[in-house]
């Protein structure tokens, strides 16, 4: 696993290393999302990726032309988790 060290400026800015920008297909003006996952690890994702690349339990997009919004992916993940929970309760 490659590791990259960046420096935080006094304005809270960093420069994303060229190798990361190339790998994630980032270009000027793209937005990045920072969040903590369930294990309290910092995760950074480019906003140009589909939400299913981030949200655990979200259904995978079978048709690449059909992209879900973040809200749709979260709702789908919650509905799927609820469906699995109901199945477990019926079989218990």
Predicted confidence at residue 10, as pLDDT, reads 96
pLDDT at 90 over 80: no
- Determine if the pTM surpasses 0.75: no
Secondary structure (H, E, C), the chain: CCCCCCCCCCCCCCCCCHHHHHHCCCCCCCCEEEEECCCCCEEEEECCCCHHHCCCCCCCCCCCCCCCCHHHHHHHHHHHHHHHHHHHHHHC
Domain residue ranges of the chain, discontinuous segments joined by +: 1-48, 50-92
Q: Does domain 1-48 have CATH number 3.20.20.70?
A: no
Residues 30-73 pLDDT 10s? 888 888 888 888 888 887 765 555 555 455 556 555 666 777 77
């Amino acid at each position: 696993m490659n590791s990259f060290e960046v420096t935080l400026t006094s304005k809270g800015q960093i420069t994303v290393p060229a190798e990361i920008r190339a790998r994630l297909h980032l270009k000027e003006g793209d937005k990045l999302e920072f969040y903590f996952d369930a294990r309290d690890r910092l995760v950074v994702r480019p906003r140009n990726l589909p939400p299913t690349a981030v949200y655990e339990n979200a259904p995978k997009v079978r048709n690449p032309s059909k992209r879900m919004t973040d809200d749709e992916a979260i709702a789908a993940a919650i509905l799927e988790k609820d469906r699995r929970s109901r199945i477990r309760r019926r079989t218990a």
